[in-house]
Structure 1
Amino acid sequence: MAACILDIHSKDELKHLRGRLVGSKNIRRTRKSVESMWKELGCYSRTAYRMSIASFHTLHSILQSDLCREFKVGKRTRGGDPNGEITTKLRLSAAIRFFAGASIYDIMLTHGMGKQTVYNSVYGVVNAVNSCEELSFNADGARFPSHAEQAEIAAGFLAKSAAGFDKIVMALDGMLVWTSQPSRADCEYLKMGERSFHCFRKDKFGMLLLAGCDHRAKFRWADVTHPGFTGDYLAWTTSDVGRELTEGGSKLVAPEHTIAGAVSDNAFCENETMATPIPGRSVSLEEDAYNFYLSQIRITIERAFGILVHRWGILRRPLSMSILKVPALVMCLLRLHNFCIDHDSRHTAGPDLRDEGAIVRAARRMKDKPCAVRLNSRGIPEDLAGSGHHFRDLPNSRRPSNQNDGMTPMRRMMKSVADQRLMRPRIT
């Protein structure tokens, strides 16, 4: 009967029908509940999901309306779900396991889904997370922290600073998001060559993630729009926030406050809103002391990258997806990283808390073992962090120098270190 129906109706006549075509083969699958999978995993459930079950339920309640809209819950078409409708909680579970680094085939077996259904769940959750205002980096979905938030961040960094630096509102650096070699079709669509996505320093293809975090290692601003060939400086000056701050006259950063940027190969430059370490080896004792105490703050962004990569294992291997989908996926992972810090006490960034301690211990255990992305003794992914510190993206291999002769926040910090007669601690 099915064969007869397919013979009668042409392809054009079947275009208006939605769902599975008549006569298509169906594989019987059994859907599992998230609670039953959690129970079977036992003490390993937190490792598998990177959060507690209470945090998972909280995340689902936050995203439920967006997930229902994304997956069109209640609008089932003929033959669309022959094994039963897939709940939004199950789709979120599949996506979180995928982000944590689980194999797509294991997710298929445990969740009772087909391969394409798992991918659809992942991309649907990415869209839901990125469209959820409650999971935004800053209050009211702002692209950059407000002055009130900056005051809170500066107070948090002050508590971490042994030199009393109290005007830092963000730690900024870049990381390479490792991907497979982009397809020719994607490169033609973007009108750039495949080599543009190749980072020569890391010898990997990828996208450049330029991000800033607060004192809790929460990401407060991020840009994932440049290929891996791009240097940090060019990515910063061509981003929306970087361009506005570089041109001057912006009130985005509170008066007399500053961003702590990286210095490798002059990736960032000193100005009214940027403080960097002083490069080179021929520095005075006061400048060396300033570099040391600024690094106490600047290392926060490197720790944030370490926690991000350790938490979401998908970033430890090349992303085998269209390069066009990478930015949305990375922004989703950054938002979920922030969610874990806010809603799961074990994942709150801090030098004395268990989450970071677990990362450092795992990095030390893996020190002599082969792995795709190696974490150093501090839990920082050195194979990925600091990806854009090269000069091939600018002519004459030079960065413009700061022409402001006034007392920048960086100079005030250097003067504070000198006035306190602070020195770099000696290793005994």
Structure 2
Amino acid sequence: MLVCRYRRNAEVFAVHAASAAAMHFISGKNAIKRGSWYGAPTNTRRRRTIQEIYMCLGAKYFQRAYRMSYESFWKLHEKLKEGIVLAHKQYLEKMRRQRRARRSRSSVCGRRRLNSPAPSPIPNGKIESEVRLACALRYFAGGSPYDIMAKYGMSHSEVMNSVWYVVEASNTQSDCHEEQLRIAMEFKDKSSVDFEWCSGAIDGIIIWMNRPTLKEAANVGVDQQKFFCGRKHKFGLNCQAVCDVRGRFLDISITHGASAADCLAFENSELYKRLQKGVLAEDLVLFGDDAYINSIFMATPYPNTSVDAAAEGLREDDSHIQCGDSGYVPMVTNNTIRDVLGAEVQTPDSLIGGGDHFDEVPLSMRRDRTSASAEFTLPRTKLCKHVEDMHMVCPVSNRRY
């Protein structure tokens, strides 16, 4: 009798233990479903609004924390709201594509996951665009992401995502024609010949970097040499940037390594696609140097112009560039170099800066040797002396930007 009672209690205990284990398994499985798309469980957080933060800080400390007044914050949010929302949608679409790709690879390998539900609603609630802007501003002001996530009730990854959403929204060039016309009028006020068609100035720069490893280069589908610039002897990235008359960036694109020409990098940017669709107002163009191709939306210098090299090349106002507070650095203009190298003589590469040849100049832009003017037909010794003088003024191989 006693043995039966103990056996019955053991059976009841086993049933309760099995029930508890099943409930734990089900709750853990649901927690994974409610979590992020990578399967991590979601921590319970309470979202906080900008109004709550402002009530806690007050006007004085809000301006100190976010580097602007409360009124200026909402004005900035009105300008960047659409861009922040668009960047968030693009990120979600990218994550959906990656998730579908992982599911397809799992099915090919015979490990198809049957329980791969679509992303469930956010358990802690939606993060508003003004909160994302506040996170980015506080991060730029020196705030720690860990303090920001505790203050606004969001994860660390969402704090960093918010920063990049604001960066994307800020770097997007305005499609408003009124804004473009205003920029063109500012260029006209600075122009001595009243150019009124410039809606932005574009140029390329090499962003120096360490040589990427073989694995890093393989991740982007190219070899290491694609990141090497032979003219400047540096590894880097080709950055295409558009700015207004005050030097403020309107658009930035980094899609190629340093070996790519400015024209190639520009034609593979998102800005180029938008320009082809007619994003600029009527009669407005971008101004660029002769590394770009003249088109309906791009104005470049005229090629094959006959200009006296002595009168044009070394004038003080045209042969210097300002470098901050350090004064001026002498440089030789492109026309002077092309006029000399375009003479009807055979010029070895050794005369041109020890291998610094001008591959970035398009063939259509170079001087036609057969139609060169007689005034540029220099004897070989005189040409060598002229090139030496130019390198004494500005050694190309040592020039830094």
Q: TM-score range by the shorter chain?
A: 0.3 to 0.5
TM-score by length of 1: 0.45
Larger radius of gyration: 2
TM-score for the superposition, normalised by structure 2: 0.48
**Relative contact order (C-alpha < 8 Å, sep 6+): which is higher?**
1
